[in-house]
Amino acid sequence: MPLFGKSHKSPADIVRTLKENLAILVKHDKKTDKASEEVSKCLVSMKEILYGSNDKEPHTETVAQLAQELYNSGLLITLVENLQLIDFEGKKDVCQIFNNILRRQIGTRSPTVEYFCSHQEVLFILLKGYETPQVALNCGIMLRECIRHEPLAKIVLQSDDFPNFFNYVEMSTFDIASDAFATFKDLLTRHKVLVAEHLEQNYDAVFADYEKLLNSENYVTKRQSLKLLGELLLDRHNFTVMTRYISKPENLKLMMNLLRDKSPNIQFEAFHVFKVFVANPNKTQPIVDILLKNQTKLIDFLNNFQKDRTDDEQFNDEKTYLIKQIRDLKKPAS
C-alpha cells in the first residue's frame, strides 16, 4: 500500500530494478542499505501486482507479463538463491510471489511447474534451506507448495538429497524440525502412486533411514514418525510395501518394544502398526515364531493394554481381535 500515489512501474521495470539491486547485495558493495531498501520496495510492488490490493483485483495481463519477465530474467531463481540477503519482510514477500507464480495455469498447463522441471536446481536450493535457520521456514513454505505438483515432488523424492530429510526432521530447533516433517509427510502421502512406486524400488534404503526416526531420542520425532508409518502401511497404495514390512521379524520386534514405550501415545501408535503383523493372514514363519514364543505374554499384555480407553470402541474391538488371533496361533506340528 504505497502512501504517496501508485508506482506505475511496468513489470519489466520492476524486474530490472530488482535484479540490479539484488546484484549489489550479492556483491556486498558499500551501498547495500539503499539497494536493500530498493529490493524490498520492488518485492512489495510485485506482490501487489500478483495479489491485488484491498480494493483492486490483480490485472491478468500485467500478471502474465510479470511472470514472463520472471522466467526470462531468471529472477525467480535468483531470489530464492539469495534469500538470506533479503530483509525479514522481504523474505516473506518472496515466498508469496513464488507461490503465486507457481500456481499459475494456462489452460491445463502449469508454466511455472514446467519451468522448474527444466531448472531443477531451485528445488534443491529450497531443500538445502533447512540448513540455514534464517531462511529455513521460508524455504519450507515454498518447497511444500512445489511438491503439491507431482512432477516436482517426483524430482525431490527421487533425488540423492531426499535422505537429508531424515536429518532435518531431527534438528534441535523444533520449529524448523516440524516444518521439515510437514514437508516430509507431504512428500510421502500426497502423490500416492508415485510414492508407492518409489518406496517399492527403494525399500531397503528408505526403511533403514526410517528406522532411525522410530528410535529417535526426540519424543516428537518418534511419535510423529510412528504415526506416519502406520498411515503409510495401511494405505492401500502401499500394499506391496506393507507386505514386505510385515514379513520382517526385526520390524515386529521393534513394534513390540515400542508397545512398551514409556509414553502411552507412542504405545498407541505402535499398536496400530503391530495389529497389521498379527492380522496378516499370511504371516511368514519368523513372525509366527516370535508371536508364538511370546504368546502368553502378549495375551496378558494386550488384556491390560491401555485399559483406560474404554470409550474407544474401535480400539477395544481391535484389541480383542488381536488377542483372539494370537490365542489361536498353533504351534507348528512337529
Partner 1 sequence: MTEKMSCMTQNRLALNTVSCCLNTYSGLHFLSFLHGCPFTFCVCQRWVSEKLSVESLRDLELFGEQAQGLSHRNAHDDSQESLTSLPRRDTMGSYLPDSSSYELLAVIGRGLDELMTVNMARYRPSGEHVAIRRIDLEFCTNDMVNFLQGELHVSKLFHHPSILPYKSVFIAENELWVITPFMAYGSARDLICTHFSDGMNELTIAYILLGMLKALEYIHHMGYVHRSVKASHVLIAADGQVCMSGLRSIFSLIRHGQRARVVHDFPQYSVKVLPWLSPEVLQQNLQGYDSRSDIYSLGITACELANGHVPFKDMPATQMLLEKLNGTVPCLLDTTTIPPEELALKPSRSGADSGICEGPGAGGVRHSNGEPSSASSGHPYNRTFSPHFHAFVELCLQRDPEKRPSAATLAGHPFFKQIKRRPSEALPELLLPVSPITCSGNSQPQYSPSGVASLESGLSHLEVDDWDF
Taking CB under 8 A as the criterion, which residues in 106-145 touch partner 1?
133-134, 137, 144-145
* Residues β-bridged to residue 106: 109
Using the minimum distance from each CB to partner 1, give the nearer residue, 14 or 171. Answer: 171
Rounded to an integer, what distance in angstroms lies between the CA atom of residue 276 and that of residue 252?
Answer: 10
Subset of 51-80 contacting partner 1 (CB under 8 A): 51-52
Which part of the chain contacts partner 1 (CB under 8 A), choosing from 33-41, 119-127, 203-211, 293-301? 293-301
Q: What would the grid cell of residue 287 be?
A: 513372525
Rounded to an integer, what distance in angstroms lies between the CA atom of residue 86 and that of residue 94?
Answer: 9
Q: What would the grid cell of residue 210 be?
A: 526410517
Q: What would the grid cell of residue 89 be?
A: 519482510
DSSP 8-state secondary structure symbol assigned to residue 119: -
Taking the complex as a whole, how short is the minimal distance between the CB of residue 93 and partner 1, in angstroms? 10
Residue 100, classified by CB atoms within 10 Å of its CB into exposed (0-12), middle (13-18) or buried (19+), is: buried
Rounded to an integer, what distance in angstroms lies between the CA atom of residue 91 and that of residue 4?
Answer: 24
- Among 10, 120, 173, 215, contact with partner 1 (rule: CB under 8 A): 173
Taking the complex as a whole, how short is the minimal distance between the CB of residue 23 and partner 1, in angstroms? 26
- Among 68, 178, 247, 284, contact with partner 1 (rule: CB under 8 A): 178
- Among 8, 28, 30, 236, contact with partner 1 (rule: CB under 8 A): 236
Cell numbers 518409489 correspond to 198
Residue 65, classified by CB atoms within 10 Å of its CB into exposed (0-12), middle (13-18) or buried (19+), is: middle
Q: Where are the beta strands (DSSP E) in the chain?
A: none
Using the minimum distance from each CB to partner 1, give the nearer residue, 160 or 308. Answer: 308
Which part of the chain contacts partner 1 (CB under 8 A), choosing from 18-26, 160-168, 169-177, 200-208? 169-177
Q: Tell me if 260 contacts partner 1 by CB under 8 A.
A: yes
Q: Tell me if 224 contacts partner 1 by CB under 8 A.
A: yes
Subset of 14-53 contacting partner 1 (CB under 8 A): 51-52
Q: Tell me if 2 contacts partner 1 by CB under 8 A.
A: no
Q: Are the C-beta atoms of residues 62 and 52 closer than 8 Å to each other?
A: no
User: Could you give phi then psi for residue 56, rounded to 5 degrees?
Assistant: -130, 130
- Among 314, 331, 332, 334, contact with partner 1 (rule: CB under 8 A): 314
Chain centroid to CA 231: 14
- Among 32, 84, 159, 218, contact with partner 1 (rule: CB under 8 A): 218
Residue 328, classified by CB atoms within 10 Å of its CB into exposed (0-12), middle (13-18) or buried (19+), is: exposed
- Among 26, 68, 301, 329, contact with partner 1 (rule: CB under 8 A): 301
* Count of residues engaged in binding partner 1, rule: CB under 8 A: 81
- Among 60, 108, 118, 304, contact with partner 1 (rule: CB under 8 A): 304
Cell numbers 506391496 correspond to 240
Which part of the chain contacts partner 1 (CB under 8 A), choosing from 2-10, 11-19, 160-168, 216-224? 216-224
Q: Are the C-beta atoms of residues 180 and 140 closer than 8 Å to each other?
A: yes
Which part of the chain contacts partner 1 (CB under 8 A), choosing from 3-11, 24-32, 124-132, 226-234? 226-234
Chain centroid to CA 93: 22
- Among 3, 28, 88, 331, contact with partner 1 (rule: CB under 8 A): 88
Q: Tell me if 183 contacts partner 1 by CB under 8 A.
A: yes
- Among 268, 274, 287, 326, contact with partner 1 (rule: CB under 8 A): 268
Subset of 273-292 contacting partner 1 (CB under 8 A): 275-276, 279-282, 290
Instruction: Name which of 323, 330, 324 is nearest 301 in CA terms.
Output: 323
